[in-house]
Each structure stands twice: as C-alpha cells, then as structure tokens.
Structure 1
Amino acid sequence: MYESMKGRVENAVESGKIEEEHIDDNEEMQEAFAKWTDNFTRQVHPTIIQVLLANTKDRDVSDKLMPNLIYVSREKSKMHPHHFKAGALNALVRVSATMTNAPIVLTLDCDTYSNDPQTIKRVLCYFFDPEIRSTTAYVQFPQIFRGLNKGDIYFSEHKRLFQINPLGMDGLLGPNYVGTGCFFQRRAFFGCPSSFIQPEMPELSPNYVVKKPIGSVETLDLAHRVAACNYENHNGWGIKLGFRYGSLVEDYYTGYRMQCEGWRSIFCSPKRSAFLGDSPVTLIDLLSQCKRWTNGLLDVLFSKYSTITFGFQKMGLLMSFAYTYYAIWPILCIALTIYAFIPQLALLNGISTFPQISDPRSLLYVFLFVGANGKDLLDFHLENGTFQRWWNSQRMWMICGLSSFLFGCIDYTLSSLGIAVRGFDLTSKVQDDELSKRYDQGTFEFGVASPMFVPMTMAAIINVVSFVVGSIGLFRSGIRNMEGLILQILLSGFVVINCWPVYEAIVFRSDNGRMSTKITLIAAFLTSIMCLLAY
C-alpha cells in the first residue's frame, strides 16, 4: 500500500497535476490531495496526512484487526526552516499526540527494521518498573548493521559508538541517543522528571486521552494544524519541548539535553539484535556522514550548552567526560594531521622529533602507542570483534582525521565566520552491482573525485617517501647513527601500512573505484610544494 501511494504521489509531482489514476477513492481525494496547487513541489507543499490503516476497521488475512498506520509528510516552505530530522520528528510527535497519544514512542531510521518480536516486551519491562519509570527517558538498543563485508573495511558498524561505550555510560546516567532503535516515554519530551512543561494546547499533553476516531474530520484538522511549518513559532518546540534544535546531530544533542535535565536512559543489548539497518557502502558516503557529525558535534561543544561547562554542572564529571569524548572527535584532526606530516618532513631533513631509541624517554611513546591500541583491541575482542575489523577501525580513524574531521572543522569555522553555509548531507547507501561486488571483496571505493581524498593521498605519498628515505639511511648509516630517527621511521611505516588501499587505488587498479587521476596529481603537486617549503 505504501509503495503504491508513494508511486502515485511521485508521479503527480513529476507531471504537475493529479490524474484519475493517482486517486483510489474519494477519501484519498479529501485527505491527501485537497490542498493541491500548481506550486506543489518536493520542497514546497502543504501537509499530507493519510490514514492507510485504522485499527477499528482494517483486518489482516486471518480477520484480525490491524494496527493504525498513518502516512505523514509535514508542510514544507522556503519561508520556514525545516530543522532537518529533528523538525520532522517533532512534527510526528505532535501529529501522533493528536491521533493516538500513545505513551511510548519508537524512532527508527528509514532503512531499519525490527529483527526480534520480543523487543517491545523487553522495553515494557523497563517502563513498567515502578522504581525507575519516573526517571527513565528512553531505552536505547545498539545500532547493528546487515550486509557488512567480512572486514568491515569502512568501519561502518562503529562498534565503539554503538556497542562498547554505551556499556560504560549505562553504569552512570545511561547511553546517549543514537537516532534509531530507541523507545522514548512521551513524558520525557515535556521537561525534566520533576517539572512538567505544559504544551501550548492540551491535546499535545502526554496525559491527554484521545476520544475521537483517528479518521474523524476534527482529528485530521488538528493533526494538519500541528504539522504546519509555522506552528512552532514562539512555543518552545525544539528548545524546551521535543527533540532539540541547535545541532546537526540531533540525536546526540537531544539525549544529552534530556540527561542534563535529570532523566536517565537504559542500554539494552540482547543476544539477538532488536533492529537491523543499512550502512554506507562507499567511502565518500561514510566520510560525508562523519563530516555532518563533525559539524553537529562542534555546534554542541561551542554552544552555551557545552558538554565541558554546562554538562559538568548538570551531569557531573564522568558523564560530562563521556559526552565530551564525542564532542572533541573533530578537533583530533589537528593531532592526526601533525603526526601524518610533521615527523615525516623532519625525517626527510634529518631532524629528530622524538627521543633517541636508547633514551628511556622513548619508552613513553612506545608505551602510549602499544597501551592505547592494545586496550582498544581488547575492547573489540570482548564485544565479539575480530582483529581484522579492529585494524580497519583504527585505519578509518586516521582516514577520517585527514578528511571528514578536517573538512568538517574548516566548514564549521567558515560557517561561524559567516563565510559559508552548511547543508544537511544525506548518506545515500545506494549501490550498483559493480560497486557492491567491490565492497563484498573488501576493496576501497575512491571513484568519486572528492576534495576530501586529497589530504589522505598527500599523507600516503609523503609517508612512503619518508619511509623509503629513512630506511635507506638506516641501512647505510646503521642504527647507532640513526637513533634519533628510528621512531619517525616506524611511524612512517605504520602510516604506509594503513595507506595500502590508497596506493592500490593509485597504482594497481583500473576499475571505476580507483583513485581519480585528478586527485592524485593535485595531491602530488601539493606534497611537492610542502617538501620544498620544509626543505
């Protein structure tokens, strides 16, 4: 039914008019197309609310009543901000309040589906527990992906974000909201546990009981009114009520603000995945997603609700650190960029940046490197991860630091200065047969000539050059005469190993996923200039 209606709506939009084949019955004409105008487009159109199934009349093949199913497309206008996903979620919260006002709300991404029919029973066990119900805002399930290749080359599963770190946060105030696979108490959208914020109309209150039929004229009129573009003007939605505005990562920000208000959350990770979803299957999609996260995280970090100041006051030290850990992700691009270029340029000029290998202080660098990576590997192993996936995860951390994090920080800085305007970049998650085949084989996809590939290509070139030059010097002069450069040679070698997919895409591949010649030439040219300036 949904696919049929979707096709008819899209055909109507493309043709610019409503044909008879677009309409199934008079009810559809009254509800879905009554407000049609010549200016109706994908970006500008009135609210559309269509009751596809009603639990009072529609039955399945075994003659049992079906649950309600309502299609909602909120009003869109160039004169009003859309607030992206958070705005859509708030519109759905209000529309659902006027039609059913169920006390529990589930949010799912469009590519996510239920994988376990027992999930709702698990959630109800928490929400019906009298000891925690009054302070529990949401129950978060880990985001698990289907269709990942064996090594998860792009680290799309984000095991630290969705599985490892929430376990630690669950021992405090609970995990952060990750945007999907999450059950909310409707009450949590209306202020802190001890102080209820009365919405602007009683029909939106979480305690309101809907008495009129879901398809009645009064119910539908009210639903259309609360889904309008200008409805949120000066009434607190997105600021004090509902999902919060102010960051492109509305999930992280909403969960953070709720916990600052005194709510707690619960992490539920059963053996059988509650939900399964799709992940990006191209490198550029993954980097675009991380770039959007970067902008959103920096929005929070440098706002008046900063996790460092506001979070510390409201949540305490440990939970503040937990949220700040995510918020400072983008800034780590500074350290990653320095480690990717500075020691290597110094190595080419014979300048030591680390202690000599015989100096006891060098053990500190070895300890930090082995300790951090060893602890991370142990976390992966305890959460049923493999060494191959862990290796790809730390490789992608380096790649993101030199691409999405770096470009995201630049974008955020320019936007803060009013030089550029940021947009919401959706992740396509669409693939053709050849791309799918390369992904299943574990081959990186560089087919798009994106500027984000330039820094990582530059790092790959400078590191292989410095490693070769350093190794030749070590072979000719011996360890004793090269003690001060050993750690730099090892660092270059580590980066070279991580950059193997880049070398492969530049030199050894001829498929459509190879590195663009344009990107390679630009990176080589900029690397040459960098080396000349350093020399």
Structure 2
Amino acid sequence: MALNTQDSTCLPLQEIIVHNNKTARAIELLILALLVSMLVYRAGSLNNEDHYLLWLLIFMCELWFTFIWILIMCIKWDQISTKTYPDRLLKRINKTEFSAVDIFVTTADPILEPCIITMNTVLSLLAVDYEPHKLALYLSDDACSPVTFYALVETIKFAKLWVPFCKNYNIQVRAPFRYFSSKYTVLKDNSFEFQQDWKRMQNEYGNLYKKMKIADQGPFKCDLNSDFADFCDVNRANHPAIIKVISESTDLPSVIYISREKNPKHHHHYKAGAMNILTRVSGVMTNAPLMLNVDCDMYANNPQVFLHAMCMVFGYKNDQDCGFVQFPQAFYDGLKDDPFGNQLANYYYILSGVAALQGMFYFGSNCFHRRKVIYGSSPNDKIKAETIRNEDLHKVFGNSFELRESAVQILSGSKPKIKNPKSLSSLIEVALHVAGCNYEYGTRWGKEVGWIYGSAAEDMMTGLSIHSRGWKYVTCSPGPPAFLGCSPPTYPSTLTQQKRWANGVLEIFFSHKNPLRLAIKENLWFRQALAYIWLCLWGLRPIPELCYAFLPAYCLVTGSHFLPKINEHDFLIPMGIFVIYNSYVFWECKRLGLSLRMWWNLQRMGRVTVMTAWLCGFLNMMLQLIGLSKNIFEVTQKELKPNDGDGDDDSHDEVDNKNVARFTYDKSPLIIPGVVVLLVNIAALVNGVVRLLKVDYTEIWLEALGLGFGEMFCSVCVLLCFWDFFKGLFGKGKYGIPASTIWKSGVLALFIVQLFRRFA
C-alpha cells in the first residue's frame, strides 16, 4: 500500500510504503501470551518453593524479558519504508534551486582509520551527481596528522581527473578502491577512448595509493617553508587549530581541511565536539542550509544519493515532517553469514517500525541535517531577522559576529545582506576563532545547539534532543545502497564498538535526556520514547541475561530446577516459547534473504555480545556513576582489505576466508566474562551428567527423565553460543585465548561454582 505525500495532480517525489505485517503481529501476540503464562506459573510457584529468593530472581528476569518483548511489539506494530524518485525531481525542480550542502567527513586516527579509506570516501562524495558549486567538503582530522593532510592534498589532485572520468562515462561506483577491485573490473564500454581513460585512471589511482602507503610507513617530514609547517613537532593532544582551504575550483566542490584546537585543560567531547567545530567553521565559510555528515569509511555508493535526499527535502510541504534524512548503514565485503553479528541485519523490522513513528534514529553517519534544526530551532518557530536580539545570539552561538550573522540567516530563512568574499581563504582567521577549544564556554553549544554532549553515543543523544523538540525524521533506502562502509574486521574490534554503544546508551538513560522524561515534559511521542527506551536498555540487558545463563548451571550443580519437569504439563510453556520464538526469528531472517547459518550467528552473537561487551559497558557506567571511572571514546578499527589498494589484484596474496571469519583474541578484559560463562556451564554439565549416571532408571525412569533434562538442554545451548570461546581455549596464536585470560576466568568460574554450592 502506498500513500502519496503530494497533491493528486502530480506524481510524488517520494512514496511511503506501508508494510503488511498482520502475520507477524499474530505470532508476536502468541509469544506474549506464552511469556505471560510463564510469569503466572512463576508467581503461583513462589510460595511452594524452598528456594524462594532463587525463584524470585527467575521471576524478575522473566518479567524483564516480557517487558522487552512488549517494547519490541510496540515498536514493530506499524512498519513503513520510503521510495524516492530522482528522475521526477530532475523534471520538476531546476538544478539551480537545489539546496547547497556542506559535507562533513570525520576521522580520528590515521592508523585505526587508514587514509586510503578516508580518501576514497572523499573522492566518492566529490563525484556525486550534483552541482559542484553547491557543495563544500570539510574533513575533520582529530589526530592532527600531516599524513592525513598530505593524503587530502594528493587526493584532490587525483580528483581533478577522477571526477570528470566518472561523470563522462556515468560510472556508478565512484570510490576507486571499489571500482578497480576484482568485482568491477569487467568493462562495459568497449570504446578505445574509454579503455585508454580507464587504464590511465587505474595507473593514477595506483600512484596515489603508493604515495599514501609510503607516507604511512615512516615519520613524515614537514617542510617549514611549505603548507606542512603547521604540523612540525605537533602534539595531537595539544595544538592550535589548523584550517586550510585545499580546493576552490569551480569544477570540484570546495575542500577544506580542519584540525580543531586541542588543549589538555579543555574537554574536547570526542566526535560531538568535532561535529560542532565543523558546524561553526562551515557556518562562517559556506553556511549551507543542509549538512551531510559521514564517517570516514562510509563512501557514497549511489552517485544520486544527494538527489534522493532532495526528493525528501522538496517532497514534504511541511519542514516538520523532514527534520533530517537518514540513510541506513550498510557494509561492503561483509564476512559470509556474519560470524561476528555486527552487520545489524536482524534490526531491519524494528527500524522499519521506528520509521513509522516520529522517525528513524540518527545513526551518526549518512545523514542530511537541516542546519536550522542543528541550531536548536523548533518546528513552529517563526523567526524574523529583525526580531532576534544580539544579546540572545551571543549567549547561544558565541562571540563571533560572523557566526551570529550566519545563524540569523539560517534561522530566519533570509538571504545574506553582505556578499560572500571572493575566496574562502580570506575567512580562515574567522574560522580559526570559532574552532578554538574555549569558544563554547558560556554558550549553548553542546547543550541546546549542535551535537549534544554527555554521551559516547553522541548521535543518539543528538537525535533524541531533536525529536524532543517535535521534529520528525525520514529514512530512505535507495537501490543501490546510498552509502557503504566497513564493519569491524575482527572480534576484538567488534567488542570495542559494542562496549562503547552500551556505555553510551546508558549515559543517556541516566541523564536529563532520559526518553521518558522528554516524552512527559517535551514533544517526544510516547511510542518514540519507548523505542529510545528499548535502545537505552541495551546497557542493562547483561544482568538478566547473565543470570539466566548461570541459572541452568546453578541447578545442575545443586540438583535443583528452574524449569518444569518434562513429565509436567507446564513444561509446554517454556518449550513453546523456545520453539515459536526461534521459528519466528528464523522466518523473519528468511524474509530478508538470510541463510540458516546467519540466523544462528545472529542468535548466538546476540547472547555473547550481551554477556561480554555490553556487560563491560554496564560495569563501566556503574563506575562512572560513583565517580571511579571516566568515559573514554574508543575508535573502532577500520581494515584495509588486500584489494582496496591500487587495483592490481595479482600483487596480493589470496585471502584465506576461513581464517578471516575465525575469532581472534587478545588480553582485553572484554573476553573474560564469556570465558567465565563457558567454564561454569562446562563444569555444570559434567556435574549433571555424573548425577544422571547414578540414577536407577529401571525403577523411576519417568522421574529420572524429568531430573535436570531441561536445565541440561539450556546449559548446552549456552555452550553452543560460546562454542568459539571453547575452541579458543585450545587455539594457538591470535586464534587462542591468552593463558592469563584463561587463568583469571578459571579462578572466577571456580569461585562462582563454589558460591552455587554454598547457597544451595
């Protein structure tokens, strides 16, 4: 079913497609009924059990699971997607009327985020199908690396060849490391001219790649008489702001390099701080009404991505319905069947449900923002330039006259009274002023304006703040995907990312931006608040899940039970939940085209991630609350794959895909909880098997069958979820869990087993 968002007299620029999910609703209601039945069974058994506290704990855990399921049902009840029509846009809207867009690309570490990946993202954005004079690209380098600056300068030289090549031949994949990889080497144009140009581009890109590789290998020499003088002996944690205009040509979008000021005495607020610097610097230099922010690894995979965004911008009559346009995060060259569970495929239906509410979450990348929304305006604000007091602007935006003037233009929708200077370079002094680390003091930056501070999940905090003012978000999933990035390449990097997310959402939950508070006091929709609550509770899930992972082990060690016995009718309730829920999730995965193995990987990694990375995020948050720890933003590693280089596949060794998908381990404490859970359940299974072998089956076989079989099945399920950890106990090198980690985990596991026996 499609709903037109335009008048019936003309075709819409976008359509909202409502999904038919009646079958899914019926199954979800059935699962809810079984969960409630389980709670009734627990409540009725509390007074009859000797282990009252244990059964009360079980009841609380299952109450939690039921509550989470209700949240998921509320979110998924209605589901929509949006289809856009760029061809209609081009026929209806003159290109001169398209909005100007400032593009923000952020990078924080040239080692964890290799320059070649960042520069491919830059190249793909410079080559999009859009008027180049309406675009300006700002690269934020939080490492203040001369290598990154050098790479950007060399990339712009190559872009002067690459961008015309892409547009002349209508190349669809405009990130050269993807275009020249083996997947795209088949040339569809057989003309001699194209063949020559293609070979030339491949050689030029190969030279660019080699230059970056050489620059990465050794200390970079900075010439005091060149543009690199500012980088001489620079300390990445303590340096003045550096802003350089790399390109101002009419054939390419303007390109500006920014490394904001850093000072150990001033908190730089991680990525949120970098985004606010980009917002202010772009505000005094180009001041486009729209801003696109992308992570350094998220290249523009669809050259018409800006046109798809404009379909949303021009397709809604009311700005309130389109506060920003969020494109989904998708990944290239993902490992087959997603062994680490980090490609987020299982969240498709939940996110489709969120889209039907007040709008999609802000993911921190691939998002077109309205500048006036970032500046703190509300949907119903009608601001006139002459009514805005300078004192108010000073308190909100700071002491820069140029920034205040640009903010007035954006908030009031007025045209600039002063003509723009001939050169962006003439604005560098003004830009340096607003890029200072002490500029924000006494202003509303990070509180009400810009990206909001206070959480490692700055994207969610900012999106929640915008939603609470009454704005709606829209999402768009064109084909091919608008942006593609690289998922964490190894298991440790996946854990690092997940820990940061868990810690970040808990910071929001315990802050003044709690979704329920915003739903009561501000303009956040109630069901949208429930969606945010579901996300925030990621950080609290480790407690009930860890308890439930230890419950079967406790019962096997102590000879008790927490499930009905096989010969009891009540056993059908937990069995029904297990069978129907897993069948339902598998059915959802099949609808998305996912394999059986991928379904299993998503299921098991859902358990493993909660009890490892999310648990550490929870513990870190508890330490923060009592003042014993501070939050540290950990950059997720981006991997440069063998064929992401110069396009010469023969020069690289073949990748052993089997080894790539194997779990690797280090001495990180994030591994310890998983090993402890594994060892405790192994000990419990051994204990349970020994006890069963002692039973006389000839006399009371029915009682024997009911004794611990349900608990043993649950313990085996936990063991299967942590099977890669089990293999890691005997692995070698990076595929083996370090001996020190095994010893620490073994001591903790032994302590827990002894506790079980002590409180039996």
What's the CA shift string for 1:317-374, capped at 9, x where partnerless?
2111111111001111011111121321221221112222232332222233333333
Q: Which residue of 2 aligns with 1:454?
A: 672
Q: 1:500 to 1:119 in 2, by over 3 A?
A: same
Q: TM-score, normalised by structure 1?
A: 0.88
Superposed CA RMSD in Å reads 2.9
How many Å separate the matches in 2 of 1:416 and 1:506? 35
Check whether the contact 2:555–2:708 (CA below 8 A) recurs between aligned residues: no
Check whether the contact 1:16–1:38 (CA below 8 A) recurs between aligned residues: no
Check whether the contact 2:566–2:705 (CA below 8 A) recurs between aligned residues: no
Kindly indicate which of the two structures has a greater share of residues assigned to helix: 2
Q: Which residue of 2 aligns with 1:319?
A: 528
Q: Which residue of 1 aligns with 2:741?
A: 519
Check whether the contact 1:138–1:184 (CA below 8 A) recurs between aligned residues: yes
- 1:169 is aligned to 2:354: yes
Amino acid across the alignment from 1:239: K
SS at match of 1:139: strand
- Cα distance, 1:216 vs. partner? 4.8
Amino acid across the alignment from 2:681: N
Amino acid across the alignment from 1:396: M
SS at match of 1:69: strand
What's the CA shift string for 1:468-524, capped at 9, x where partnerless?
4434544653453241522211101111111211111112x3243211122122222
What are the within-5 Å matches in structure 2 for residues 225-304 of structure 1? 225-304=433-512
Q: Which residue of 1 aligns with 2:136?
A: none
SS at match of 2:257: strand
Check whether the contact 1:164–1:383 (CA below 8 A) recurs between aligned residues: no
How many Å separate the matches in 2 of 1:115 and 1:147? 13
Q: Which residue of 2 aligns with 1:396?
A: 605
What are the within-5 Å matches in structure 2 for residues 373-392 of structure 1? 373-392=582-601
What's the CA shift string for 1:390-422, capped at 9, x where partnerless?
211121121122211111111111111111222
Q: Which runs of 5+ in 1 are unaligned?
A: 57-64
What are the within-5 Å matches in structure 2 for residues 11-22 of structure 1? 18-20=222-224
Q: Which residue of 1 aligns with 2:268?
A: 82
Q: 1:479 to 1:187 in 2, by over 3 A?
A: farther
How many Å separate the matches in 1 of 2:457 and 2:753? 38
Q: Which residue of 2 aligns with 1:109?
A: 295
- 1:42 is aligned to 2:264: no
Check whether the contact 1:94–1:204 (CA below 8 A) recurs between aligned residues: no
How many Å separate the matches in 1 of 2:321 and 2:499? 34
Amino acid across the alignment from 1:249: A
How many Å separate the matches in 2 of 1:336 and 1:421? 26
Q: If you compute each CA radius of gyration, which structure gives the higher value, 1 or 2? A: 2
Q: Which residue of 2 aligns with 1:491?
A: 714
What are the within-5 Å matches in structure 2 for residues 116-127 of structure 1? 116-127=302-313
- Per mean C-alpha deviation after superposition, the further-off stretch among 452-461 and 37-46 is 37-46
What's the CA shift string for 1:5-35, capped at 9, x where partnerless?
33699989x9899525x72xxxx4xxx75xx
- 1:413 is aligned to 2:636: no
- Cα distance, 1:134 vs. partner? 4.0
What are the within-5 Å matches in structure 2 for residues 149-164 of structure 1? 149-161=335-347, 163-164=348-349
How many Å separate the matches in 2 of 1:91 and 1:178? 19
- 1:342 is aligned to 2:536: no
What's the CA shift string for 1:130-177, capped at 9, x where partnerless?
42434411111110111211121111211244x332211111111100
How many Å separate the matches in 2 of 1:295 and 1:452? 13
- Per mean C-alpha deviation after superposition, the further-off stretch among 346-355 and 106-115 is 346-355
Q: 1:15 to 1:272 in 2, by over 3 A?
A: closer
Check whether the contact 1:140–1:267 (CA below 8 A) recurs between aligned residues: yes
Check whether the contact 2:500–2:633 (CA below 8 A) recurs between aligned residues: yes
What's the CA shift string for 1:38-83, capped at 9, x where partnerless?
8731111111111111134xxxxxxxx2111111111111121111
SS at match of 2:368: strand
How many Å separate the matches in 2 of 1:421 and 1:227? 25
Identical positions, percent: 28
How many Å separate the matches in 2 of 1:504 and 1:467? 17
How many Å separate the matches in 2 of 1:38 and 1:151? 46
How many Å separate the matches in 1 of 2:679 and 2:148? 52
Check whether the contact 2:567–2:702 (CA below 8 A) recurs between aligned residues: no
Q: 1:103 to 1:435 in 2, by over 3 A?
A: farther
How many Å separate the matches in 1 of 2:653 and 2:531? 37
Q: 1:370 to 1:127 in 2, by over 3 A?
A: same
How many Å separate the matches in 1 of 2:436 and 2:359? 34
Q: 1:527 to 1:214 in 2, by over 3 A?
A: farther
Check whether the contact 2:308–2:478 (CA below 8 A) recurs between aligned residues: no
1:189 to 365, 374, 383: 374
How many Å separate the matches in 2 of 1:424 and 1:4? 21
Q: 1:431 to 1:354 in 2, by over 3 A?
A: farther
SS at match of 1:183: strand
* Count of residue pairs the alignment pairs up: 514
SS at match of 1:151: coil
Q: 1:305 to 1:273 in 2, by over 3 A?
A: same
Q: Which runs of 5+ in 2 are unaligned?
A: 1-114, 120-146, 154-211, 398-403, 643-651, 696-700
- Cα distance, 1:435 vs. partner? 13
SS at match of 1:144: coil
SS at match of 2:264: coil
How many Å separate the matches in 1 of 2:577 and 2:629? 39
Q: 1:277 to 1:405 in 2, by over 3 A?
A: same
How many Å separate the matches in 1 of 2:270 and 2:366? 19
